[in-house]
Amino acid sequence: MKMTGAQAVVNSLQKEGVEVIFGYPGGGVLPLYDALYDSPLRHVLTRHEQGAAHAADGYARATGKVGVVIATSGPGATNLITGIATANMDSVPMVCITGQVGLSIIGKDSFQEADITGITTPITKHNYLVKNPKDLPRILREAFHIAQTGRPGPVVIDIPKDVFTATIDYDYPEEIVLRGYKPLYEGKKKEIDEVAKALQKAKKPLLFVGGGVISSEATDLVRTIVDQYKIPLISSFMGLGAIEAKDPCNLGMVGMHGTVAANMAVMDCDLLVGLGVRFDDRVTGLLAKFAPKAQIVHFDIDPAEVNKNVSTQYRVIGHLRWSLQSLLESLEHKIDTKVQADWTLWLQQVQKWHQENPLTFKNSEKVIKPQYVLQELDRQTKSNAIVVTDVGQHQMWTAQYYGFHRPRTLISSGGLGTMGFGLPAAIGVQMACPQENVLLVTGDGSLLMNCQEIATIVEHQLPIKVAIVNNHALGMVRQWQRMFFQQRYSHSTFHNGGTDYVRLAEAFGAKGLRATTPEEVPQVIAKALEIEGPVFIDFQVCSEENVLPMVPAGASLDQMIEGVVD
């Protein structure tokens, strides 16, 4: 069938089952947008390309499907960069289609030309510059395959304008042949058996659940292991929601702002079993003293992750659905009553730590404490919303005080820590999950970074509830300055009194509410939840509050700060 390159792109997106695209048109992609005009694909026009990238990211995180974003050449494409890097760090499947100047003028500093494949090489799983129009169907097919197989990640397809307008014989390939790309789904049984033997010998095993458990849809298998053997578990930030927060075996988040019990368990366990984790620096603290008594096991689909940050004694490479099912089969009939008795004593010990060291804060009747806002949001939504966050103190308070009980209910930028992620990501999440309650928790600093997307939310009347933890400062920066820079608050406070977020929301056509006292908090949350459309709630919180406990950068996990004295 003959069609233009632009029509070939649209047809290929339909072949891949794409339903929603996020993007922003421009000269380099006008032929593609012209083809979209006649297609059934739903296109969401954001107000900035970065917003489109984060929206596609949020859509992918909430569904597990590939998020698709389109931008034009030059500045349109470079505006995607932060969104692409964010997705890459958190292993999110995305296909990013960018326009490029015509083939004959590439490399001549032409108007709105940027070397997007060169720029994105370090932050993508793969990228393409399409030089021959007939390659378009094959490249689209490969891009979706690469983005969602193995360790997921973003793929960029850069398409010159004259490739869009060229006529080709369209034939979408059924099979893919990619030399050198063969993700390992089923690993070595020998590696599984070695882990099973190590577990048999362990008296204090500890499961460490990461975002890979959620992205590989393996939470049910972790649940089976926990239910069957009562092994305590800790979670990375990205792993929250994999196992119910209230499960008796779940000690909560580990690391810099993790629970005391989770960090103490790492320091005392004798076998730490990492499942789909990166062992990043926010988790490990001082590497030389990380899990000092333990042998370490690492399950991951990406062999490059193993021994990257911590040295492991055992490794299992493969898809977690294969690995964990194989581990369950290998453990069957091997865990005798003596081993189980040791594990029961260990579980009782860590549960005692957890009960004696709960997350806590000193509430107030005069000023709004941010932790109280999160507790009240959790109570009134019954821990049943999909919660999107930006980055900063509010992000960590959300992790600590909102009860996540289902996978894919915490959507946040973990690895890159991207301020401005939340608002556009919430658009993608609500588009993907129209029947769910979507709650965005953001800070006054983060919200302003992509506040233009309020217009997108209002245009589509997305019923997102936005809780602004407004402390009139860049809260986490201010906290570090208070604790480690002698309270020298260099450019971290909004001295002009901040922005009026109620009027900002109303200027875009959304509903704005405000709470300035603790007693107003439950009232405005209840009112916001009753309103059908988008609502922005400005919580005027105490600016002096710190996220605690905290392991200072470069310290070991047992060097937690649990209180601050000025």
Do residues 432 and 63 lie in contact, with contact meaning Cβ atoms separated by under 8 Å? yes
Rounded Cα distance between 107 and 356, Å, is 64
* CA distances for 481 relative to 255, 469, 484, 555, angstroms: 20, 19, 5, 17
Do residues 434 and 18 lie in contact, with contact meaning Cβ atoms separated by under 8 Å? no
Strand 314-317 versus strand 295-300 pairing type: parallel
Rounded Cα distance between 215 and 223, Å, is 15
Using alpha carbons, select from 236, 31, 229, 45 the residue that is nearest to residue 136: 31
The torsion angles phi and psi of 14, rounded to 5 degrees, stand at: -65, -40
Host H or E run for residue 277: none
Strand 535-540 versus strand 20-23 pairing type: unpaired
Q: What is the 3-state secondary structure (H, E, C) of 110-144?
A: CCCCCCHHHHHHHHCCEEEECCCHHHHHHHHHHHH
Catalytic residues: 49, 111-112, 161, 476
Question: 157 pairs with which residues across the strands?
Answer: 97, 128
Q: Report how far Cα 203 is from the mean position of its chain's Cα atoms.
A: 33
Instruction: Look at residue 466 and give its three-state secondary structure.
Output: strand
Angle formed at CA 122 by CA 91 and CA 157, multiple of 5 degrees: 80
Using alpha carbons, select from 291, 280, 281 the residue that is nearest to residue 205: 291
Angle formed at CA 54 by CA 52 and CA 55, multiple of 5 degrees: 60
- If you write DSSP's letter for every residue of 22-82 in order, what string do you get? EE---GGGHHHHHHHTTSS-EEEE-SSHHHHHHHHHHHHHHHSSPEEEEE-STHHHHTTHH
Using alpha carbons, select from 472, 470, 454 the residue that is nearest to residue 535: 454
Instruction: Look at residue 336 and give its three-state secondary structure.
Output: coil
